[in-house]
Amino acid sequence: MSSIDNTTGKARRIRRVIAGSLVGTTVEWYDFFLYGVAASTVFGSVFFPKSDPLTATLLSFLTYALGFAARPLGGLVFGHYGDRIGRKKLLVISLLMMGASTFAIGLLPTYHQVGVAAPLLLTGLRLIQGFALGGEWGGAVLMVSEHGSARHRGFWASWPQAGAPAGQLIANGILALLAAFQNDADFNAWGWRIPFLLSAVLVLSGLWVRMKVEESPLFHQAQQAAAARAAADVIEKLPVIDVVRRYPREILTAMGARIAENTAYYIFTIVIATYAKEQLHMPKSFALDAVMIGAAVHLVTIPLWGALSDRIGRRPLYLFGAAGVGVWAFAFFGLVNSKHLALAAIAVVVGLLFHGAMYGPQAAFFAEMFGTRVRYSGVSIGYQLSSIGAGAIAPLIAVALLKRYHSGTSIAVYVAICAAISLIAVVSYRETKDRDLAEVDGGARSGRPAAQTLVETG
């Protein structure tokens, strides 16, 4: 009976951890993507009204990109303290910061009301959003990775990843609902504020779930080992310094792997709104509806990709996804150019299926690269630094290419180049699915199994 109770207790804990990570990441991605959708459709006229439409959109995307610039700093700070005082505390802080900044955006005055102060305030709040999200992802995926069993790690760790399409789905759904019941004048005047203010409700619900989650057991083990080293007068290096010194290849691999994943996602879900509006002269609902359909499929399939990676490995799926987005980008714009919602939806769905082949296994893949003592710092640095060269500039480059060439083909070439970078990064690294996360101070340096490295380093 005790073994059955123990099994039931473990199952209950992992479900609670998954729920806490999924709800939290959904809320935070809702806040983050809401800004992206608003930047592509509304913020240009509200905060930069003196520019022509494409330039105004470019300027609003620049504030969007600044949020990505703040993410590595958030990853460094949250990663450092997450490795020192625990994953759970930092996740609560990141959720509160993200929610407060998003709610404040909904209260901002416009350019017509306060002039240049409006875009400056918007930029400041965007930086806070980026800083908070920089610490969110690493902690959320580690809480699940370090609780779940090694056999199903890819599946368990993929659930926080599903928070991205869930947040995208909610954000686009609310915006589409408002657009359906409001004319453009009312939506631009005040309707766009409603989704930002609604984030307060989502944050409170996410906070309630997250507070019930227990701290990672592997982190407790790492704390005990650190206490033993301190008792032996062993001087500990800062986690950020230690991870850069011991895991440079892993950081670079994670960064390279993210280039195609991050770029493709923002092209398929954010840039499509600008492309449909400015190039095809379609209503806002055209892109929003297509992305909502794609996000719904994405939400369901991400855990399936994670589960498949437990069977065949993280690497094969990641390579399949990277090659897929590089090729599909050309078909994507061809289908969107048809101006038929069904074909545009197919374009987004297939694009996000290829993206999911990377995104589903990604959490486990990255977590398996680093030792427990520096894992929060390692995954956060590798994940967030790449955001500057991928997601941050993807909308800027795409809009600039559109302004220069007036064609989606140039954007597709850009995605293909990013896919090639990720293919090289992942091909150069070994499979990780059989690595043991329970080791605390060992590392998977140079692509070697963790157990082997632990023996070699003593």
Q: Please spell the DSSP secondary structure of 2-36, one letter per residue.
A: HHHHHHHHHHHHHHHHHHHHHHHHHHHHHHHHHHH
Read off φ and ψ for residue 368, nearest 5 degrees: -75, -5
Query: Of 225-234, 246-255, 431-440, where does the model show the most confidence?
Result: 246-255
pLDDT of 454 higher than 50: no
- Per-residue pLDDT tens over the stretch 343-352: 999 999 999 9
Mean pLDDT of the residues in the chain: 83
Q: Tokens 């959720």, residue? A: 95
**Distance in angstroms between the alpha carbons of the first and the last residue of the chain:** 40
Q: What is the pLDDT of residue 333?
A: 96
Percent share of the chain, pLDDT over 70: 88
pLDDT of 7 higher than 80: no
pLDDT of 336 higher than 80: yes
Q: Tokens 């792997």, residue? A: 257
What are the domain boundaries of the chain? 9-212+236-457
Write the CB contacts of 84 (distance below 8 Å, at least 6 apart in sequence). 239
- Per-residue pLDDT tens over the stretch 282-332: 987 898 889 989 999 999 999 999 999 999 999 999 999 999 999 999 999
CB 157 within 8 A of CB 144: yes
Mean pLDDT along residues 242-253? 92
Look up the pTM and report it: 0.81
- Per-residue pLDDT tens over the stretch 261-278: 999 998 998 899 889 988
- Closest to 162 (Cα-Cα) out of 300, 37, 348: 300
DSSP string, 379-403: HHHHHHHHHIIIIITHHHHHHHHHH
Q: What is the pLDDT of residue 272?
A: 92
Q: Can you tell me the distance from the alpha carbon of 442 to that of 458, in angstroms, rounded to the nearest whole number?
A: 8
Q: Can you tell me the distance from the alpha carbon of 291 to that of 79, in angstroms, rounded to the nearest whole number?
A: 32
Read off φ and ψ for residue 349, nearest 5 degrees: -60, -50
Q: What is the pLDDT of residue 202?
A: 79
CB 307 within 8 A of CB 155: yes
Q: What is the pLDDT of residue 231?
A: 60
CA 7 distance to own-chain centroid: 32
Q: What is the pLDDT of residue 299?
A: 94
pLDDT of 448 higher than 70: no
Q: Tokens 């069977």, residue? A: 311
Q: Can you tell me the distance from the alpha carbon of 397 to that of 118, in angstroms, rounded to the nearest whole number?
A: 25
- Closest to 10 (Cα-Cα) out of 141, 149, 155: 149
Q: What is the pLDDT of residue 90?
A: 84
Q: What is the pLDDT of residue 344?
A: 96
pLDDT of 234 higher than 70: no
DSSP string, 227-264: HHHHHTTPPPPPHHHHHHHH-HHHHHHHHHHHHHHHHH
Q: Can you tell me the distance from the alpha carbon of 232 to that of 157, in angstroms, rounded to the nearest whole number?
A: 35
Residue type, 168: Q
Mean pLDDT along residues 107-111? 91
Element (H, E) at 64: helix 53-85
CB 175 within 8 A of CB 377: no
Write the CB contacts of 350 (distance below 8 Å, at least 6 apart in sequence). 328, 331, 332
pLDDT of 417 higher than 90: yes
pLDDT band at 222 (very low <50, low <70, confident <90, very high): low
Q: What is the pLDDT of residue 429?
A: 95
Higher pLDDT, 217 or 244: 244
CATH topology for the 9-212+236-457 domain: Growth Hormone; Chain: A; (1.20.1250)
Return the structure tokens found at 34. Answer: 């809401």
Residue 445 half-sphere exposure toward CB, CA atoms < 13 A = 16
